[in-house]
Chain A
Amino acid sequence: EPEVTQTPSHQVTQMGQEVILRCVPISNHLYFYWYRQILGQKVEFLVSFYNNEISEKSEIFDDQFSVERPDGSNFTLKIRSTKLEDSAMYFCATYRDTGELFFGEGSRLTVL
Chain B
Amino acid sequence: AQSVAQPEDQVNVAEGNPLTVKCTYSVSGNPYLFWYVQYPNRGLQFLLKYITGDNLVKGSYGFEAEFNKSQTSFHLKKPSALVSDSALYFCAVRWGNNNDMRFGAGTRLTVKP
Residues of chain A at the chain B interface (Cβ within 8 Å) = 4, 31, 33, 35, 40-45, 48, 50, 55-56, 91, 93, 95, 99-106
Contacts and interface: CB of A to CB of B under 8 A. Distances in A.
Given A91-B44, A95-B99, A106-B43, A100 B49 contact: yes
A106 B45 CA distance: 12
A42 B105 contact: yes
Leading 3 A-B pairs by shortest Cβ distance: A43-B103, A103-B43, A103-B44
Interface residues of B, number: 24
Given A40-B88, A41-B106, A33 B100 contact: yes
16 contacts: A31-B99, A40-B88, A41-B105, A44-B103, A45-B100, A45-B103, A48-B99, A48-B100, A91-B43, A93-B44, A95-B99, A99-B32, A99-B94, A100-B46, A100-B49, A105-B43
Interface of B: 32, 34, 36, 38, 40, 42-46, 49, 51, 88, 90, 94, 98-106
A87 B32 CA distance: 31
A104 B99 contact: no
Nearest to B45: A103
B45 to A, nearest CB: 8
